[in-house]
Amino acid sequence: MRKQRVYCPYCAEPVVRREVEGKARDLCMRCSTVFYENPLPVASAIVVNEQREVLLVQREKEPYRGMWCLPIGFAETGEEVKDAALRELEEESGVKGKIVRLIDVDTVDNDFYGSLAIVTYEVRAAGGRLRPGDDATDARYFSIFDLPPLAWSSNDKAVKIYIDMYRDTWAMMDSFRQLFPDFGPPHTVSQDTPSHGSLLSNILIKIIDRDREEITRSWAGEVEDGIPSLAACMDVLMEINRTVLQGIQEGLEQKRQPFDRERFVEAGRNLRRLGLPLPDILNALALSRKSIWVHVIGKKILSSPLEIYSTLELNNRIIFLYDRVNYHITEGYMG
Ligand SMILES: [Zn+2]
């Protein structure tokens, strides 16, 4: 329990409680020392995984024994508060972490410890092995939207701030997931991530230009497997797909010359001459559009929420460009 000061540590005189500078404080009448109460710094870590689950530890000791909370503990003299957050995280849960950002500083008056300044950091898990450690009987992840009652009100506050901060990002990721259900959210960052200064559309233009052959080959594999009626003419189709990708690339670049319709009309005529069914051709073009994103996601260039958001916008532009390609190919086919 919170300890009361009885004697002055400097002259051993019993202290008295008096109003000093507008507040009741301990005072030594003999040596005139005023004992100011300062909050103790406490560091806490909020670690959230890709499933939007928060790492909690179950307290082994009082106060709040048996209750769950974020990994938390006192910062020591000479220790950075951030380092204390990482140390407590590892000691209590076995998880090693990296500081992402400061989430909240909350000053509370606690019955057990007195005045505390609880500093909570967002931390990304970066290794270690999840197991309950010092002062914890259990450590596990709970859905951020369905947490058990937390020991510290400051933890509740920090979780709320965290949710408010990520709400938009999660909404964007969910739209992305709806758009590309096969791939899941693009959360991983590869080592060769392009500089984040460059626009995603520029990155995409470069990727389509550089990897046109690779994208076409994996698309061809999918068409051969999925649309048997086209399998006999893959060479011609691959050549058309290269032209289509080039058209998409030029459309994204917004080159000054108008979108070159003639090459697609010509491709359409060609495809009719070969006797390939039009619905299957349009199907293959839908796969072609998808193949661009399969490739981009495979390259793991999408990392930040902004990039995911740009992806949705870019996808709309690509859909528009493919609509024109489809139209001109159909035009040539029917003509
Ligand atoms: Zn004294």
Q: Is the dihedral of CA 196, 202, 204, 210 positive or negative?
A: negative
Tell me, yes or no, whether 7 and 87 share the same domain. no
Tell me, yes or no, whether 327 and 215 share the same domain. yes
Distance 9 CA to ligand 1 centre (A): 7
Tell me, yes or no, whether 254 and 286 share the same domain. yes
Distance 285 CA to ligand 1 centre (A): 87
Report pLDDT for 124. 95
| Cα–Cα distance, 54 to 259 (Å, whole number) | 50
Torsion over CA of 254, 255, 260 and 263, rounded to 10 degrees? -100
Report pLDDT for 181. 61
Distance 172 CA to ligand 1 centre (A): 62
Tell me, yes or no, whether 29 and 75 share the same domain. no
Residue 188 in domain:
no
| Cα–Cα distance, 208 to 308 (Å, whole number) | 18
Residue 242 in domain:
yes
Tell me, yes or no, whether 224 and 262 share the same domain. yes
| Cα–Cα distance, 280 to 264 (Å, whole number) | 16
> At which residue do the structure tokens 């399969």 appear?
294
Nearby residues for ligand 1 (ion, Cβ within 5 Å): 8, 10-11, 13, 28, 30-31
Tell me, yes or no, whether 235 and 266 share the same domain. yes
Q: How many domains does the chain have?
A: 3
Distance 30 CA to ligand 1 centre (A): 5
pTM over 0.85: no
Strand partners, 104: 120
| Cα–Cα distance, 285 to 311 (Å, whole number) | 20
Spatial contact of 37 and 44, defined as CB atoms under 8 Å apart: no
Distance 19 CA to ligand 1 centre (A): 17
For the record, the structure tokens of 232 come out as: 């006999």
Tell me, yes or no, whether 19 and 56 share the same domain. no
For the record, the structure tokens of 8 come out as: 């002055």
- Provide the residue range defining the domain that includes 322: 200-334
Residue 28 in domain:
yes
Report pLDDT for 205. 86
What's the burial of 64, exposed, middle or buried (CB within 10 Å: 0-12/13-18/19+)?
middle
Amino acid at 168: D
Distance 17 CA to ligand 1 centre (A): 13
Distance 13 CA to ligand 1 centre (A): 6
Distance 2 CA to ligand 1 centre (A): 22
Tell me the per-residue pLDDT of 35-82, one tens digit each, with 9 for 90 and over: 998 899 999 999 999 889 999 999 999 999 999 999 999 999 999 999
Mean pLDDT of the chain, nearest integer: 88
DSSP 79: S
Helix H or strand E segment including 285? helix 278-298
Residue 184 in domain:
no
Distance 112 CA to ligand 1 centre (A): 26
CA distances for 120 relative to 288, 309, 321, 330, angstroms: 47, 28, 47, 59
For the record, the structure tokens of 47 come out as: 């670690």
Tell me, yes or no, whether 153 and 52 share the same domain. yes
Report pLDDT for 96. 97
Distance 29 CA to ligand 1 centre (A): 7
Residue 3: give its domain's CATH number: 2.20.70
| Cα–Cα distance, 205 to 217 (Å, whole number) | 18
What end-to-end distance do the CA atoms of the chain give, in Å?
89
Tell me, yes or no, whether 25 and 87 share the same domain. no
Tell me the per-residue pLDDT of 185-229, one tens digit each, with 9 for 90 and over: 444 333 334 444 346 777 788 889 999 999 999 999 999 999 999
Tell me, yes or no, whether 123 and 206 share the same domain. no
| Largest CA-CA distance found in the chain, in angstroms, rounded | 109
Distance 117 CA to ligand 1 centre (A): 28
Residue 101 in domain:
yes
The DSSP bridge pattern shows strands 68-69 and 72-74 to be: unpaired
Tell me, yes or no, whether 117 and 149 share the same domain. yes
Residue 180 in domain:
no
Tell me, yes or no, whether 207 and 327 share the same domain. yes
Query: Within a 10 A sphere around the Cβ of 233, how many other Cβ atoms?
Result: 15
Residue 251 in domain:
yes
Residue 284: give its domain's CATH number: 1.10.490
Distance 7 CA to ligand 1 centre (A): 8
Q: Is the dihedral of CA 194, 290, 247, 239 positive or negative?
A: positive
Ranges of the chain with pLDDT below 50: 185-198
Distance 107 CA to ligand 1 centre (A): 29
